[in-house]
Structure 1
Amino acid sequence: MATPSVATTHTDASKAHRLGELREFLMSRRARVSPAEAGLPDGGARRRTPGLRREEVAVLAGVGASWYQWLEQGRDISVSPQVLDSVARVLKLSSAERRHLYVLAGLNPPAPEVAQDDWAMCEGLHRLINTWMPYPAHIMDAYWNCVMYNDAAASVLGMRSETSENCLLTFFSDPIYRARATSWQRNAPQVVAMYRAACSEHPQDDGFSAVIAEARSTSAEFAELWERRDILPGGQVAKEIEHPVVGTLFLESTQLKVPARPDLTIVMHTPMPGAGSDEGEAVDTAGKLAWLASPEGRRGSIYPVAG
């Protein structure tokens, strides 16, 4: 008889752990939902089960009682997204809990959603990017529409009300950006590839389609780069900005995600050495950014720069 491999043993142990977690998770969620919350009579003092009974969950979810019992016992059975969604609805799972249920059941989780209580996070995120001063920072939605930006993004990157609110369109159509961003030619293919990656999971989304159509109609360069079909995940972009007041700035933008707000991306800029420069250049960029944010710098910086 062949001896089980180490990989097989590890896989079996991981699966057993996952199914055990599924059992404990479903039992704990079922205990939280009262019969009244599920639209059932509470049974009065005769009821000894906290929350719903297994049979009640099965009836409300439209599945067999034996099947649900096997699911909650952590048996290795076949499940479908539709059935898990029915169970999640009965157990009143949040978006995060629903994704967790999928993972424990061995299925690919659905796309994350913004929970009702997390829509108010923008105020806290605004405080976050303001704390990043004197370095530029802004926040984009899924389509790269600019949601908010700090003062440094306005003075250094030229974010202003008269430009397009969409960062991709601004990149290709803002003349000030094109004149000041000396790294534009190098960055353009990366920016387009990152946008294609952002919209690749939503091929039928009209919001992405509208941005792409406008970019195609206003920029032949975008249209050419888009046809390359390059894909890059959102990450870091090195930028060289020729600011009309303080001169050359070497910046690195980093895209950050907040799990509770998957519809938003925080883009934070940090000073960095330029190509072929020494470490002193990074210190110089940081000093220039600090000066631009000072009262003296605010008075002296009157020309916006897009980026």
Structure 2
Amino acid sequence: MQPRPGRRLSQAHVARLTGVSEGWYRALEAGRRQDFSEAFLLRVARALRLSEAETLTLFLGVCGRRPPEESPRDPRHLPEGVKALLDQQVTYPAYLSDIAWNVVAVNGLMAEWFPWSVRPGANLIRWALLSPEAREQMLDWEESCARTYLAMLRVAANSNPDNAELRALVREVLDADAECRRIWARDSEVVEHRDGHVFPYHGGREIRVISHVLLPIQRTDLRFVFITPLLDGDEAAA
């Protein structure tokens, strides 16, 4: 770690500021240890007054993961650019969801195609796996919907073991539905995002659609998803 002009601190000084021995901090700079806690790395970032990008670099270099959010973000407070992009999407259904698949915002077409998405407390996983409506709208429900969503839920729960909302969602789904319990016990498939997933949708007439998942750089805790009809070229690629 190279100090910037005007910010020069000795290893002994940084060690005192972060509450560790000089040898422990020296091991960090020398790259000799890989078991530093997130709390320690955050103290180092504060002591050295690292920027957000520098803190990210520190975490990725030392432990290969992003720094934790120091305080939970309110999903209702959307960056203007993200909200504008959603509102201006008038060709296809689109929505924003958080890490536990709570629906944060939708555009007009999403509300028209999937009215459940504007109901209070709308949650994609809960609707897709537990709602009778989903089993009617999503044709071939087990193959095109349930297996994929349960695989996504498995990845999210394992990636965020401290997230109580995700743990509760897993319990709710498995406690409520025998088919979901059967698929969960039988399959070991894992899926991080449903990006590029093709599924048949009823909506008054059968249509095959494809979902696209974007992660807004301003809010990496959100997913921006839009749904497009499957065109002939897409069908061939699939």
Work out whether 1:233 is the aligned partner of 2:182: no
Distance 1:66 1:125 in 2: 45
Structure 1 residue 100: Cα displacement: 0.8
CA contact (8 A) 1:236 1:254 kept: yes
Q: Secondary structure at the match of 1:86?
A: helix
RCO (CA 8 Å, sep 6+): is it higher in 1 or 2? 1
Residue among 103, 107, 119 paired with 2:63: 107
Between the aligned partners of 1:205 and 1:107, the Cα distance in structure 2 is: 20
Q: Say yes or no: does 1:256 pair with 2:214.
A: yes
Q: Tell me how far apart the structure 2 counterparts of residues 137 and 216 of structure 1 sit (CA, whole Å).
A: 28
Identity %: 27
Larger Rg: 1
Q: Cα 1:239–1:280, aligned 2, differ >3 Å: closer, same or farther? A: closer
Q: Per the alignment, in what secondary structure is the counterpart of residue 202 of structure 2?
A: strand
Closer/same/farther in 2, CA of residues 124 and 118 from structure 1, 3 Å limit: farther
The secondary structure found in structure 1 opposite 2:91 is coil
Q: Does 1:158 align with 2:109?
A: no
Provide structure 2 residue ranges, at least 5 long, that are not aligned to the other structure. Answer: none
Indicate the residue corresponding to 1:185 in structure 2: 142
Matched letter for residue 231 of structure 1: V
| In 1: Cα distance, 2:207 partner to 2:33 partner | 57
Q: Secondary structure at the match of 1:222?
A: helix
Q: In the aligned structure 1, how far is the partner of 2:90 from the partner of 2:148?
A: 26
Q: What is the deviation of 1:155?
A: 1.0
Show structure 1 runs of 5+ residues with no match: 1-22, 32-49, 283-307
Task: Work out the CA distance in 2 between the residues paired with 1:250 and 1:174.
Answer: 20
Aligned equivalent of 1:85, options 33, 42, 52: 42
Aligned mate of 2:226, from 250, 268, 278 = 268
C-alpha distance 183-237 of structure 1, shift in aligned 2 (>3 A): farther
**CA 1:152/1:99 → structure 2, altered by over 3 Å: closer, same or farther?**
same
Measure how far apart 1:85 and its partner are.
3.5
Q: Is the 8 A contact 2:156 2:166 kept in 1?
A: no
Cα distance in 2 for partners of 1:214, 1:133 equals 34
CA–CA separation in structure 2 for the residues paired with 1:154 and 1:206: 28
Q: 2:169 aligns to what?
A: 211
**1:51 has 2:11 as partner:** no
Aligned to 2:207, what secondary structure does the other structure show? strand
Paired AA for residue 103 in structure 2: C
Q: State the Cα RMSD in Å.
A: 3.3
Letter in 2 for 1:236: G
- Aligned position for 1:300: none
Q: 1:115, CA displacement in angstroms?
A: 7.7
Matched residues in 1 for 2:56 and 2:27: separation?
A: 20
Q: How does 1:167-186 map to 2 (within 5 A)?
A: 167-186=124-143
Equivalent in 62, 65, 83 of residue 126 of structure 1: 83
Instruction: Find 1:149's aligned residue among 106, 111, 117.
Output: 106
Kept in 2, the 8 Å contact 1:194–1:231? The answer is yes
> TM-score, normalised on structure 1?
0.63
TM-score by length of 2: 0.78
Preserved CA contact (<8 Å) 1:145 1:165? yes
Q: 1:67 to 1:168 in 2, by over 3 A?
A: closer
Give aligned pairs, total.
229
> Which position in structure 2 is the counterpart of 1:224?
182
